[in-house]
């Protein structure tokens, strides 16, 4: 997850309705009862548009499950569908829990979330090396409401319908029925009016924090107003028709003390900015204040590799590292830790730190959970759009980076660079939520990776702790594997920086032979159903059949090297002669070289600069700006930099 400078990183049985306790309101007739037939999953080819599939006469079994549960417990179907969509997007996720411990379409929480802190990175500050997890309690008081474990709703929901926990974890229909019963138990008066369920939806969020609960309910009602249709991860088409006249009692949630859009209930949970040790001016943490306005080029998406409850002990430790925001999984609650004009130590690359904002998302790349909640996606998308507008950051994958897209600053750092948020982060859906869908371009001369997330069940290994060779559970993914030849049996391409002389691996943590949704590459060849791209100085092939394409045409500038052995860099620093007041920072090329005939897509142009902090007082900081110009290119899975003088730009 985090590091500051250039040091190496570490990253049943169901009962009848009469068995339901009296606390659950009796079912009330819907405004317009509909007899919904139950059928097997509707099989519609991927090439058929959703708008066409929606007119199929048969109603999917999953849709019928929602309708039946809504009728049984007197919950308006739109409310039940809206709550479930915000929690799980109606998916089952193969019975695996979310980071918050929620199961099934209704995200019923089985147990408190894991509170173990993540391991500390090596050399988190300039003067200290941490080798043990940071588990000390925070020294400053924090809101008990915001840090409490989410309630274990699954056992209670099971009691309401007479089902055991295992059934609710494994049976989607039972999970939906139990979720409906739980939601109904929160409703004071039965009502067929969806607007009357606002308070019950707020309680379903599972948080005792009124502002966070309101934010959750507002987002559910927003989904209900808009309507949505999608096919679930197990093949069922589900539709929520728009309820445009829906009203809510919610008010603007913005907190004047934090940098957040008004629709998010953000809190201020400050990171530690303290001196420690004997060298009081240099031994400090865990971020840098600035006395000037900085330029922000990137927003970096991380996952926490631990629970939200572990965040305060880390963010409040001056010997740890920092990031700007954390977003909670269960309800999408946002906490800000560092002002966006200050430099947080989060990316593992100081150059990127100085020009970026880091956002952590409660979740794990692989272990424990392989899915992120819709509530978290939507809060994050709102926050990123707000920050992109504020700092004029383009909403594309050259500027909205995963931590796994940040380049290693030096050759030594490359193998240890982190891989979060990993292949299970749904980039296409994320950009849809930001109102910037990843569309194909007409007459595109390059390609953008864009597999169908739900249908792209790529092979990964190592999700189970201690079992690196075991295949991960089948799940949608946002990446494609890259081979040395147009054949599934050919080896994965080699990353000279991470696996010199060896092919990449299928490990969920190994990004070295993968391309990710939204990334743009220059085409190096085509053969049958296979497409080759230029990747780390070589041709890399991925399966791209017309019937189920993994990429779409894209347009934009590319570069081609002027000579063999053109060097590539992990940071855009100035030339040596530019340093007057700060120590010279050597330009260390990375272990990649590119040559004539190869092409790489350009994400932007950068003039070399270096911000020298290393002092508690911002007045002692020095900025060095040179004349050396770089192009940011998509070299591999990570972005990197080439000197403009070494390449030719092709517009």
- Span 406-430, pLDDT tens digits: 999 999 999 999 999 999 999 999 9
CB neighbours of residue 627 within 10 Å = 10
* Domain annotation covers residue 342: no
The answer on 572 and 504 residing in a single domain is no
Q: Check whether 130 has a pLDDT greater than 60.
A: no
* Domain annotation covers residue 584: yes
The answer on 546 and 462 residing in a single domain is yes
Confidence category of residue 22, pLDDT binned at 50, 70, 90: very low
Read off the pLDDT of residues 82-120 as tens digits, 9 standing for 90 and up.
999 999 999 998 888 988 889 999 999 987 544 433 433
Percent of the chain as helix, strand, coil, to the nearest 5: 25, 20, 55
Among the candidates 527, 555, 583, a domain finishes at 555
Q: Span 256-265, mean pLDDT?
A: 86
So what's the pLDDT on residue 510? 96
Distance set, CA 193 to CA 78, 79, 143, 456, 593 (Å): 10, 9, 35, 39, 64
- CB-based burial of residue 186 (10 Å sphere; 0-12 exposed, 13-18 middle, 19+ buried)? middle
Contacts of 572 (CB under 8 A, 6+ apart): 351, 606, 607, 608, 609, 628, 630, 632, 641
Among the candidates 195, 218, 240, a domain finishes at 240
* Domain annotation covers residue 260: no
**What is the enclosing helix (H) or strand (E) of 352?**
helix 350-354
Question: What distance in Å separates the CA atoms of residue 571 and residue 352, rounded to the nearest whole number?
Answer: 7
The answer on 226 and 79 residing in a single domain is yes
So what's the pLDDT on residue 280? 60
The answer on 620 and 490 residing in a single domain is no
Of 226-235, 271-280, 530-539, 607-616, the poorest mean pLDDT is in: 271-280
Confidence category of residue 142, pLDDT binned at 50, 70, 90: very low
* Domain annotation covers residue 596: yes
The answer on 134 and 108 residing in a single domain is yes
Model-level pTM? 0.85
Note the residue count of the chain.
651
Report the DSSP beta bridge partners of residue 336. 268, 325
The answer on 143 and 66 residing in a single domain is yes
Query: Which SS3 state, helix, strand or coil, does residue 625 take?
Result: strand
* Domain annotation covers residue 124: yes
* Domain annotation covers residue 208: yes
Residue (of 190, 207, 232, 303) closest to 84 by Cα position: 232
* Domain annotation covers residue 327: no
Q: 372 phi and psi, to 5 degrees? A: -115, 140
The answer on 186 and 160 residing in a single domain is yes
Question: What distance in Å separates the CA atoms of residue 337 and residue 272, rounded to the nearest whole number?
Answer: 9
The answer on 183 and 90 residing in a single domain is yes
Q: Check whether 295 has a pLDDT greater than 80.
A: yes
Question: What distance in Å separates the CA atoms of residue 585 and residue 574, rounded to the nearest whole number?
Answer: 8
The answer on 87 and 206 residing in a single domain is yes
Report the DSSP beta bridge partners of residue 602. 633
The answer on 100 and 187 residing in a single domain is yes
* Domain annotation covers residue 345: no
Q: Check whether 46 has a pLDDT greater than 80.
A: no
- Rounded CA Rg of the chain: 25
Q: Span 138-161, mean pLDDT?
A: 67
Of 11-15, 383-387, 394-398, 526-530, the poorest mean pLDDT is in: 11-15
The answer on 184 and 54 residing in a single domain is yes
Q: How many domains does the chain divide into?
A: 3
What's the maximum distance between 2 C-alpha atoms anywhere in the chain? 82
Q: Whole domain around residue 538: which residue ranges? A: 440-555
Contact 406, 347 (CB under 8 A): yes
Question: What distance in Å separates the CA atoms of residue 81 and residue 59, rounded to the nearest whole number?
Answer: 15
Confidence category of residue 650, pLDDT binned at 50, 70, 90: very high
Residue (of 232, 426, 212) closest to 328 by Cα position: 212
Q: 277 phi and psi, to 5 degrees? A: 80, -175
Among the candidates 535, 555, 575, a domain finishes at 555
């Amino acid at each position: 997850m985090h590091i500051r400078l250039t040091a190496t990183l570490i990253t049943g049985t169901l009962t009848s309705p009469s068995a339901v306790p009296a606390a659950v309101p009796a079912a009330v007739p819907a405004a317009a009862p509909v007899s919904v037939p139950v059928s097997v999953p509707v099989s519609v080819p991927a090439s058929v548009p959703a708008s066409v599939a929606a007119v199929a006469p048969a109603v999917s079994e999953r849709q019928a499950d929602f309708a039946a549960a809504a009728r049984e417990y007197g919950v308006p179907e739109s409310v039940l569908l809206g709550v479930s969509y915000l929690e799980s997007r109606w998916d089952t996720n193969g019975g695996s829990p979310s980071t918050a411990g929620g199961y099934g379409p209704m995200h019923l929480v089985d147990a408190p979330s894991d509170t173990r802190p993540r391991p500390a990175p090596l050399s988190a500050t300039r003067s200290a090396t941490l080798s043990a997890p940071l588990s000390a309690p925070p020294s400053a008081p924090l809101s008990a409401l915001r840090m409490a474990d989410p309630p274990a709703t699954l056992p209670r929901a099971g009691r309401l319908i007479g089902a055991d926990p295992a059934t609710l974890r494994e049976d989607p229909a039972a999970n939906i029925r139990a979720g409906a019963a739980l939601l109904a138990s929160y409703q004071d008066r039965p009502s067929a009016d969806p607007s009357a369920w606002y308070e019950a939806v707020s309680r379903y969020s599972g948080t005792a924090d009124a502002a966070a609960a309101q934010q959750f309910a507002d987002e559910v009602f927003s989904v209900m107003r808009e309507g949505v249709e999608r096919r679930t991860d197990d093949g069922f088409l589900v539709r929520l028709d728009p309820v445009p006249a829906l009203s809510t009692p919610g008010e603007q949630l913005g907190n004047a003390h934090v940098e957040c859009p008004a629709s998010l209930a953000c809190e201020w949970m400050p990171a530690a900015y303290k001196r420690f040790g004997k060298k009081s001016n240099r031994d400090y943490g865990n971020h840098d204040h600035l006395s000037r306005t900085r330029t922000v080029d990137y927003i970096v998406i991380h996952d926490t590799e631990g629970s939200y409850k572990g965040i305060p002990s880390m963010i409040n430790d001056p010997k740890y590292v920092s990031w700007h925001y954390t977003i909670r999984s269960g309800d999408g609650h946002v906490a800000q830790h560092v002002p966006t004009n200050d430099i947080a130590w989060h990316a593992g690359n100081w150059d990127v730190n100085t020009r970026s904002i880091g956002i952590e998302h409660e979740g794990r790349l692989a272990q424990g959970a392989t899915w992120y909640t819709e509530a978290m996606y939507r809060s994050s998308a709102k926050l990123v759009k707000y920050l992109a507008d504020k700092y004029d950051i383009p909403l594309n994958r050259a500027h909205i980076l995963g931590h796994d897209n940040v380049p290693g600053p030096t050759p030594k750092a490359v193998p240890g660079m982190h891989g979060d948020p990993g292949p299970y982060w749904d980039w296409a859906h994320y950009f849809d939520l930001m109102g910037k869908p990843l569309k194909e371009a007409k007459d595109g001369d390059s390609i953008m990776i864009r597999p169908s997330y739900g249908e792209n069940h790529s092979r990964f290994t190592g999700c189970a702790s201690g079992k690196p060779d075991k295949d991960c559970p089948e799940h949608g993914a946002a990446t494609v594997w890259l081979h040395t030849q147009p054949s599934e049996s050919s080896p994965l391409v080699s990353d000279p920086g991470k696996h010199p002389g060896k092919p990449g691996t299928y490990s969920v943590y190994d990004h070295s032979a993968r391309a990710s949704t939204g990334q743009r590459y220059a085409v190096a060849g085509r053969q049958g159903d296979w497409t080759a791209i230029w990747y780390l100085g070589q041709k890399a092939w991925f399966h791209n059949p017309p019937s189920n394409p993994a990429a779409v045409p894209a347009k934009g500038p590319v570069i081609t090297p002027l000579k063999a052995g053109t060097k590539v860099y992990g940071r855009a620093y100035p030339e040596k002669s530019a340093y007057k007041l700060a120590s010279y920072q050597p330009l260390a090329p990375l272990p990649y070289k590119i040559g004539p005939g190869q092409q790489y897509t350009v994400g932007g142009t950068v003039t070399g600069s270096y911000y020298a902090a290393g002092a508690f007082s911002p007045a002692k900081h020095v900025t060095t700006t040179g004349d050396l110009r770089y192009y940011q290119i998509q070299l591999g899975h990570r972005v990197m930099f080439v000197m403009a003088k070494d390449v030719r730009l092709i517009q």
